[in-house]
Structure 1
Amino acid sequence: MREQAPDLSWVYLEFTDDMGHAFGDSQQYNDAVIAADKRIGQIWAAVKQREKQFNEDWIIVVTTDHGRDPKTGRGHGGQSDRERSSWIATDAKPLNVYAQKGKASVVDILPTLATHLDISLSDDQKRELDGVSLLGNVSIYNVEAKRTDDKVNLAWVSGESNGKVKISLAHTNNYKQTGNGDTYTLLAEVPVNKGSFDIDLSQYPKSEIYKVTIEGTHNTVNRWIVNKK
């Protein structure tokens, strides 16, 4: 990194995971975290050198892919808060209102990197995003979709006081299967500060999956409604 400086580097420090599975909450695990911190420090030093020597603009994002079981700290895959929770540490700034007040998660890393690297995503790609960038302006965040029978209530937090959002629905998953975009039906345009919208799925063709997008001025977020087989 110090010599070649690719635009994007992904580094996997596996030892903490190994020690967690082997020993759980333990001194061995704590020592592995300390060792990982030292290695991240080497990356940090390389980044700081690049910024100083070449006037480059870098960000570092550190995260984990899952938590661990609350009893032993060894396994994962359950539904406990500790297993389902993860964290993000970054030097990116200035962080937006979502990063400061919302429920940030690992799915926000991709759009954050796209913002920092000034990568333009296609509309089809934006409609597949679960996350919200932690940088720049944001229209909506903390989007939830709650289903009761055929009724779906969408709720969100507005990141701006004015403007509208477009709410659209698709009942296919072509993007995953073929790489081609899905056909969305525009359901409504509502004020962004309204914060909620109701959908009646009985008015649309029956499907195993419904994909809902909320498109604001600055970002688009999707939520899926999946029928259990």
Structure 2
Amino acid sequence: MLSILLFLSLLAVEGKTRKAVFIIIDGVPADQIERLQPPAIYDIASQGAYSRAYTGGQTGGYSQTATISAIGYTNLLTSTWVNKHNVTGNDNLKPNYNYWTLFRIAKEQKKDFKTALYSSWTDNRTVLIGENKPETNHLKIDFVKDGFELDTINFPPKDKDLHIFEIDEHVSCLAAEGIKNDAPDLSWVYLWYTDDAGHIYGNGHDFDEYVMKADRQVARVWEAVKYREKNYDEEWMIVVTTDHGRAENGHGHGGQSCRERTIWISTNVAVNKYFKSGNLAITDIAPSISRFMKFEVPQDVLWEQDGIPFIGDVDIYNLKTMPYDNSVYLTWDTISDNNPVTIYVSTENKFKEGGKENWIKLATVNAGINSYKAELKDLPAGSFYKFVVETKNNHLNRWIIK
């Protein structure tokens, strides 16, 4: 009897099994979502939160990143910008796999987490995630439903690319079925046609119509998540987002205009103050899912991530650097002033090539000071400086290229 009670008490401590799914609806700007208020996306947010966010890195800075689809997916997957992940467009893809995707993080855990991909465009799996490549430690996705764009028998090309919409319908049904029956621990659902609709129609009724149809596809997945939570001892995190916005007329994207850079995030989980800070980015999604799933991320991988978790405790955000003569001023904003901040620097970028950084600890200061002056004369001479500012609950990083 005592052993049974002990077992039950351990189960109670561990709580519900956590699972996560993220959905990318391609190429839908925030203003369009806010005008249409799609029911499923807003219902998800009613359980947690909705906010505008940004993609595209720092305009005019070393991390400036084109607002293009495959780049956007990789921003999310790796929590880095193009200066690190090296995906520069939708073709000739050459990711730097040293920057781990969320799928690699999941597969490197001690526990056997099951992963799933429900998607058209096979490159999402074979190239961006890098399934079964030596560079990704031969990671394997457990449940795969993709490649339908190559199936011209069941999905023959149609006028206005409507076969892609039919593929999205199929993908969303498969995703709902997979989540309901297989319940993978980590899933990615990719919906393509909204981007085509934007390119074809531009702003207008037709584009709006397909955004609302995509929302109904999201609803299928959302209903499957709610089914699992109702019938199983599970707690799910769902995140719905887009990879980029659109140009003023709705047709194109790729540049750094405000509308192209402005995306959105809807989630069903409780968020922290950072989520509403005005600094939320597409790179924040992977760290947030990792925190929800309690993934252990190696420090060298973690410190390269440009994102901040939007769930749980966060102390600092919005790191900025300003070179001044032979110094660099670092400043940050604080959510919690109580925790100390430790500043590190590396004068090399070995991680990019698969190596380990030689981090130099500069100082520990109170977070509420909001600034630190780094003297470059005290460091090895060079033209590159990588700073990490770390607290108990999160870190920030930034480069200086002289």
TM-score, normalization by structure 1: 0.90
Matching residue of 1:169: 345
Q: Matches of 1:109 and 1:225 in 2, distance apart?
A: 25
Question: Which of 249, 252, 276 is equivalent to 1:75?
Answer: 252
How far apart are the structure 1 equivalents of 2:191 and 2:238?
14
Return 148-157 or 186-195, whichever deviates more.
148-157
1:114-129 mapped onto 2 (5 Å cutoff): 114-129=290-305
Structure 2: runs of 5+ lacking an equivalent? 1-178
Aligned residue in 2 for 1:212 = 387
**2:264 is the counterpart of 1:87:** yes
Q: Where does residue 194 of structure 1 map in the other structure?
A: 369
- Counterpart residue number, 1:98: 274
Shift of 1:143: 2.0
Question: In the alignment, is residue 4 of structure 1 matched against residue 182 of structure 2?
Answer: yes
Provide the rounded CA distance (Å) in 2 between the counterparts of 1:149 and 1:50. 58
1:136 match: 312
Assess if the C-alpha contact under 8 Å between 1:102 and 1:142 holds in 2: no
Structure 1 partner of 2:202: 24
Partner of 2:357: 182
CA spacing shift, 1:196–1:27, aligned 2, 3 Å: same
Closer, same or farther: CA 32–147 of 1 in aligned 2, 3 Å: farther
- In the TM superposition, what whole-angstrom CA distance separates every residue of 1:14-67 from its partner, at most 9, and x where no partner exists? 111111122221222111111110000000000000001002110111111112
> More displaced, 159-168 or 44-53?
159-168
Work out which of the two has the higher radius of gyration on C-alpha atoms and give 1 or 2.
Answer: 2
Q: Is 1:54–2:224 an aligned residue pair?
A: no
1:159 — aligned with what?
A: 335
Moved more, 203-212 or 3-12: 203-212
Runs of 5+ consecutive residues of structure 1 not aligned to the other structure:
none
Give the secondary structure class of the aligned counterpart of 2:190.
Answer: coil
The share of aligned pairs that are identical, in percent, is 39
SS in 1 for 2:181: coil
For 2:383 and 2:253, the matched residues in 1 are separated by: 28
Question: Greater CA deviation, 32-41 or 141-150?
Answer: 141-150
Instruction: Using the TM superposition, give the Cα deviation of residue 208 of structure 1 relative to its aligned residue in structure 2, in angstroms.
Output: 4.9
SS in 1 for 2:186: coil
CA distance in 2, matches of 1:131, 1:106: 8
Q: Larger deviation: 154-163 or 166-175?
A: 154-163
More helix by proportion, 1 or 2?
2
Which residue identity does 2:299 align to in structure 1? Answer: D
Q: Secondary structure at the match of 2:234?
A: coil
CA–CA distance in structure 2, aligned partners of residues 150 and 46 of structure 1: 57
